Amino acid sequence: MQNQYTDWKQALRSGLLGGAITVLLSLIGIVTAFSNTYIVNKVISFGELLIVGPIAALSLVAIQKARARHPGLLILTAIISGLTSGLVILALAGLGQVINLRAMFLNASNDLYAIYAYKQALVPGLLLRLLVSGLVGALVAGFTLLPGRIKAAISQGLLYVILVGLMGRLIGTVLNTWGFVAILFKWMFVANSLSPIGAIFLFLLTGGLAYWRYGRPKTKQITDPKKQKLVRWGTLGGFGLLLIFLPNILGMWFSEILDNVGLFILMGLGLNIVVGFAGLLDLGYVAFYAIGAYTIGVLTSPELGFFNLTFWQAFPIALIMAFLAGVLLGLPILKMRGDYLAIVTLGFGEIIRILVLSDWLKPWLGGTQGIQRIQRPVVGIGEFSITLQSQQQLYYLILAGIVLVAFVAVRLRDSRLGRTWMALREDEDVAVAMGINHVATKLTAFAMGALFSGIGGTLFAAKIGSIYPSSFQFLVSINILSLIIVGGMGSIPGVFVGALALMGLPELMREFAEYRYLFYGAALVAMMLTKPEGLWPEARHRLEFHEEETPPPEESEAVPESA
Amino acid sequence: MDNILVSKKVTKRFGGLEALGKVDLELKKGAIQSIIGPNGAGKTTFFNCVTGFYTPEEGEILFNGRNITGMSPDRVTHLGISRTYQNIRLFKNMTAIENILVGMHPHLKSWLIGAIIRDPRTVHEEAEALKEAYRLLEYVGLKGRGDMLAKNLPYGEQRRLEIARALASRPKLLLLDEPTAGMNPSETQDMVHFIQRLRDELGITILIIEHQMRVVMSISEKITVLDFGRKIAEGTAKEIQTNPTVIEAYLGRGAASGLGETAAKG
Ligand SMILES: Nc1ncnc2c1ncn2[C@@H]1O[C@H](COP(=O)(O)OP(=O)(O)OP(=O)(O)O)[C@@H](O)[C@H]1O
Ligand SMILES: [Mg+2]
């Protein structure tokens, strides 16, 4: 008796929480916003998923926390949880009829209630909603009672349907560049989402795969070192090839995203030296990016007409400028520590942006109007030269930049200089007592970071052809810092993963544009709670107890993946 | 000139507090010598003055006859003094071998360009450094621990690693701040033998701050006693054990540091 009583209380609590989450998502506005973003065309939308998802998740919690073991009781618990959630939703809709919630919550609109009521008349519609909520609970309970193999199949199937459904538009864009292949898949998609038949097919396919794989050992371990080597080089080579053909495979639109992510990787690699290796919190990193871009702009734009250099003539000058700016800023401030350094660099970033914006420098830097008609880079000689103009062409330039910069970063990390940076980061007093000149050491880190950022700036200028002060906001510095933290402080592969996750994913989720930062923030918080060391932490953070006498710490880290 | 280190009337104040008052000390080349004293006597402060962490307000410190008063820590290290810390200060998130390599910093040259292009000289230098670092690691009894993060080493091994790092700069004088703190009797015994080996095999002069009387008495040729920043006694173990002022300083404060008992028995 006692048991059942606590189970019901738990069921009620889960139900309330599930309902509350749904209501919260509704009031934020994403339920309404995505009510027409279909996962399966005309069957289930992302908005509906946002209503049902929390309800299902919390019924699952109720079942897991239940003490009862009898299937009937478990189903009952889940139904109670589901119904409770449904009631919470109904309560919101009901309240909305009585008082004007819109005064406080802009999104508590009739549209929302109509979605709740499946676009039916309010009363029968809402009753249907309640029924569905209870049903969701029952289905979840039924699901948990299934044998493991079928559970695995169902969850995998659902996962793929949801992911592919959400990515429908992107997949469509890619398929469009692949005329003949597109025809093969056309029937699976309707209007940027899965067609019902497509969804069933995908569900059966992926679910069936999971069913088949269940309980089977994973791919066999290769033990022969020769084969291992072969496999390693094979994957590396395959990866390289993939990188080279990526823009052709994915098409124009994706290439643009790849370029953007690539620029962030480039700058992330630089800031990682400053923040990750040397432990200097630099919040004004965007300044060097701006200096790189503007140097190219001023030197090459015929609009300003001062120098009319070509991109490649201006390129080394831009790098020198960025490097020097790093040194000049570094000199006075590197004696500061921690918070002070952060504030001063932040200020520096703003100063550069404001200078660029100012009327005073307008004749040279263009003020708010920025600089247009920046020369594109030309590669090759004589007749065989081409101007890199399309996003696909510029991809290779950026890729080359990344390879170079990543190579330098790896080399620096594994050198005496890298050790010195880390020692300073760990304990400055002791490091100095070991004979390390902290000013020179920090300055080198700062200048190298500035140089990399400058390279990013030049490529950015080449990529968009015109630059405006608004491209060099403080937020850029913060974004780069975030991607480093998410990837794992001081980790070079982490920069790639972080940039893909923080810069790439949101670009892919353009539909979510308005709510981008909401998801972004939620993801960041979730990550800091569950994986504070980052997605791909630096190798030495993973070091555990180790074997006998080891060879030199020549961590062979296959330089960069992806761009 | 067989004094490697001489301090003359060294005084260090923190606000109104006189942490060191006119401390004279002479350290013979090749000796193992100790500084003892109750908590807050100024022992660590003396080390900090010698290694350049603090600049004394008055007095002079000579190293091999050269005035090093107020010199910066890195220059003092270059001259050949290195130290360990009372509360171990390893580079925690670096591996054992990296810690030692950082200690070798003053003897290496490669910098930015070398790091990037890895010219033969840099490669050679790094290889040699690494060999030497592994040798040192083995010397302090940490063979096979090279790739472990410093923070993951057991306490006793961290102390040894800190000594290895200090040795890496090839010092002539080594200052050890309570090297046996927190160790059990057998670990302590090992450490004592190890310190003697350092002097005997490497010819390094050693100055130790130590709390455990058994250690001090067994190891040091000469003992200096500080109390409230002043030198209150100096001499051999025997002389110190029976010195009434010393007993007073320890017992009067009720410090259970063991000197009282030892003295009473001895
Ligand atoms: N940086 C500082 N600022 C202010 N006071 C300090 C500073 N360093 C040391 N002191 C003070 O100087 C006195 C001597 O400290 P010191 O650390 O040298 O003692 P100690 O002999 O090493 O003691 P212990 O046995 O506890 O290590 C203490 O009263 C301490 O509080
Ligand atoms: Mg002390």
A423 lies in some domain: yes
User: Does residue A291 have a pLDDT over 80?
Assistant: yes
| One-letter amino acid of A103 | A
Pocket test for ligand 1, best of B13, B43, B227 (most atoms within 8 A of CB): B43
Find, among A147, A24, A4, A145, the residue nearest to A80 by Cα.
A4
Determine which residue's CA is closest to atom 31 belonging to ligand 1: B40
Determine which residue's CA is closest to atom 25 belonging to ligand 1: B39
> According to the model, what pLDDT value does residue A542 have?
46
> According to the model, what pLDDT value does residue A220 have?
65
Pocket test for ligand 1, best of B45, B50, B86, B87 (most atoms within 8 A of CB): B45
CATH of the domain at A401: 1.10.3470
* Percent of chain A whose pLDDT exceeds 90: 49
| CA A435 – ligand 2 centroid, Å | 23
Find, among B80, B96, B130, B84, the residue nearest to B110 by Cα.
B130
Which atom of ligand 1 is least distant from the CA of B38?
25
> According to the model, what pLDDT value does residue A557 have?
41
Interface of B with A in 154-193 (CB under 8 A): 165, 169
- Cross-chain Cβ contact A426/B144 below 8 Å: no
Q: How far is A234 from chain B (nearest CA, A)?
A: 27
A333 lies in some domain: yes
Contacts of A559 in chain B (CB under 8 A): none
- Cross-chain Cβ contact A549/B146 below 8 Å: yes
Q: Are residues A322 and A448 in the same domain?
A: yes
A561 lies in some domain: no
Find, among B44, B52, B54, B129, the residue nearest to B84 by Cα.
B44
Interface of B with A in 69-108 (CB under 8 A): 72-74, 76-78, 82-83, 85, 89, 91-95, 97-98, 101-103, 105-106, 108
> According to the model, what pLDDT value does residue B45 have?
96
Chain B, nearest residue to A422 by Cα: B94
| CA B90 – ligand 2 centroid, Å | 17
Last residue of a domain, one of A88, A123, A145: A145
Q: Are residues A338 and A482 in the same domain?
A: yes
> According to the model, what pLDDT value does residue A508 have?
74
Q: Are residues A340 and A487 in the same domain?
A: yes
> According to the model, what pLDDT value does residue A3 have?
63
> According to the model, what pLDDT value does residue A561 have?
38
- Residue from the list A411, A437, A543 with its beta carbon closest to the beta carbon of B149: A543
Task: Give yes or no for B256 touching A (CB within 8 A).
Answer: no
Task: Give yes or no for B52 touching A (CB within 8 A).
Answer: yes
Entry field: residues in chain B: 266
Q: How far apart are CA B19 and CA B42, in angstroms?
A: 5
Q: How far apart are CA A543 and CA A531, in angstroms?
A: 16
A288 lies in some domain: yes
Last residue of a domain, one of A145, A160, A181: A145
Q: How far apart are CA A133 and CA B203, in angstroms?
A: 82
- Give me the tens of pLDDT residue by residue for chain B, a chain 266 residues long: 589 999 999 999 999 899 999 999 999 999 999 999 999 999 999 999 999 999 999 999 999 999 999 999 989 999 999 999 999 999 999 999 999 999 999 999 989 999 999 999 999 999 999 999 999 999 999 999 999 999 999 999 999 999 999 999 999 999 999 999 888 889 899 999 999 999 999 999 999 999 887 788 888 999 999 999 999 999 998 888 888 888 888 766 554 445 444 444 33
Find, among B179, B163, B147, B142, the residue nearest to B90 by Cα.
B163
For an interface test with A, the pick among B105, B126, B173 (most A C-beta atoms closer than 10 Å) comes out as B105
Q: How far is B207 from chain A (nearest CA, A)?
A: 18
- Residue from the list B103, B127, B148 with its beta carbon closest to the beta carbon of A546: B148
Average pLDDT score over residue span A186-206: 88
Between A155-164, A451-460, A509-518, B174-183, the lowest mean confidence (pLDDT) is in: A509-518
pLDDT in tens, A461-485: 999 999 999 999 999 999 999 999 9
How would DSSP label each residue in A127-154?
A: HHHHHHHHHHHHHHHHHHHS-HHHHHHH
Whether residue A292 contacts residue A425, with contact meaning beta carbons closer than 8 Å, is answered with no
Q: Are residues A322 and A449 in the same domain?
A: yes
- Residue from the list A418, A429, A552 with its beta carbon closest to the beta carbon of B130: A552
Q: Mean of the per-residue pLDDT values for chain A?
A: 86
Q: What share of chain A is helix, strand, coil (3-state, %, to 5)?
A: 75, 5, 25
- Residue from the list B91, B111, B165 with its beta carbon closest to the beta carbon of A426: B91
| CA B44 – ligand 1 centroid, Å | 7
> According to the model, what pLDDT value does residue A552 have?
42
A289 lies in some domain: yes
- DSSP bridge pairs for B33: B207, B222
Q: How far apart are CA B2 and CA B22, in angstroms?
A: 22
| CA A66 – ligand 1 centroid, Å | 59
pLDDT in tens, A94-112: 998 888 888 888 888 888 9
User: Does residue A281 have a pLDDT over 80?
Assistant: yes
> According to the model, what pLDDT value does residue A363 have?
84
Query: For strand B205-209 and strand B32-36, is the pairing parallel, antiparallel, or unpaired?
Result: parallel
Chain B, nearest residue to A406 by Cα: B116
Element (H, E) at B12: strand B3-14
- Cross-chain Cβ contact B102/A419 below 8 Å: yes
Instruction: Report residue B183 as tokens.
Output: 């160790």
| CA B66 – ligand 2 centroid, Å | 26
Between A37-41, A192-196, A550-554, B196-200, the lowest mean confidence (pLDDT) is in: A550-554
> According to the model, what pLDDT value does residue A510 have?
67
Phi-psi domain of A13 (left: phi exceeds 0; alpha: psi -120 through 50; beta: other): alpha
Q: Are residues A316 and A438 in the same domain?
A: yes
Last residue of a domain, one of A122, A145, A168: A145
Whether residue A438 contacts residue A431, with contact meaning beta carbons closer than 8 Å, is answered with yes
Q: Are residues A277 and A138 in the same domain?
A: no
Sign, Cα dihedral of B94, B100, B106, B107: negative
Give A367 or A316, the one with higher predicted confidence.
A316
Whether residue B207 contacts residue B253, with contact meaning beta carbons closer than 8 Å, is answered with no
Chain A, nearest residue to B71 by Cα: A433
Average pLDDT score over residue span A222-245: 84
CA atoms within 13 A on the CB side of A18: 34
- Cα angle vertex B134, ends B130, B139, to 5°? 145
Question: CB-based contacts of B109: which residues, under 8 Å, 6+ apart?
Answer: B125
Query: What ipTM was predicted for this assembly?
Result: 0.90
Whether residue A288 contacts residue A326, with contact meaning beta carbons closer than 8 Å, is answered with yes
- Cross-chain Cβ contact B102/A431 below 8 Å: yes
Whether residue A296 contacts residue A315, with contact meaning beta carbons closer than 8 Å, is answered with yes
> According to the model, what pLDDT value does residue B253 have?
57
| CA B86 – ligand 2 centroid, Å | 6
Give the residue numbers in A contacting B (CB under 8 Å), as ranges: 408, 411-412, 415-420, 422-423, 426-427, 429-437, 444, 448, 540-541, 543-550, 552-553
Residue B70's SS3 state is coil
Q: Are residues A129 and A265 in the same domain?
A: no
Determine which residue's CA is closest to atom 11 belonging to ligand 1: B19
> According to the model, what pLDDT value does residue A547 have?
37
User: Does residue A493 have a pLDDT over 50?
Assistant: yes
Task: Give yes or no for B126 touching A (CB within 8 A).
Answer: yes
User: Does residue A555 have a pLDDT over 50?
Assistant: no
- Cα angle vertex A192, ends A189, A195, to 5°? 30
> According to the model, what pLDDT value does residue A412 have?
95
* Percent of chain A whose pLDDT exceeds 70: 93
Confidence of residue A231 (pLDDT cuts 50, 70, 90): confident
Confidence of residue A390 (pLDDT cuts 50, 70, 90): confident
Q: How far apart are CA A523 and CA A485, in angstroms?
A: 13
Instruction: Report residue A370 as tokens.
Output: 């920025």
Q: How far apart are CA A419 and CA A345, in angstroms?
A: 24
pTM for the full predicted model: 0.82
- Residue from the list A416, A426, A434 with its beta carbon closest to the beta carbon of B92: A426
Task: Give whichever of A330-334, A336-340, A401-405 has the largest mean pLDDT.
Answer: A401-405
Read off the DSSP letter of residue A377: P
Q: How far apart are CA A78 and CA A61, in angstroms?
A: 9
A192 lies in some domain: no
Starting from the CA of residue B14, give the closest ligand: 1
Structure-token match 């969804």, residue found: A199
Pocket of ligand 1 (CB under 6 A): B 14, 17, 19, 37, 39-45, 86
A176 lies in some domain: no
Q: What are the angstrom distances between the C-alpha of B111 and each of A200, A441, B4?
A: 61, 9, 33
Q: Are residues A446 and A305 in the same domain?
A: yes
A234 lies in some domain: no
| CA B220 – ligand 2 centroid, Å | 18
Which atom of ligand 1 is least distant from the CA of B226?
21
Domains of chain A: total:
2
Instruction: Report residue B20 as tokens.
Output: 């060191």
Chain B, nearest residue to A553 by Cα: B147
- DSSP bridge pairs for B227: B230
Q: Are residues A413 and A286 in the same domain?
A: yes
Question: CB-based contacts of A545: which residues, under 8 Å, 6+ apart?
Answer: B148, B152
For residue A448, what are the domain limits? 252-545
- Cross-chain Cβ contact A426/B93 below 8 Å: yes
- Residue from the list B129, B147, B169 with its beta carbon closest to the beta carbon of A543: B147
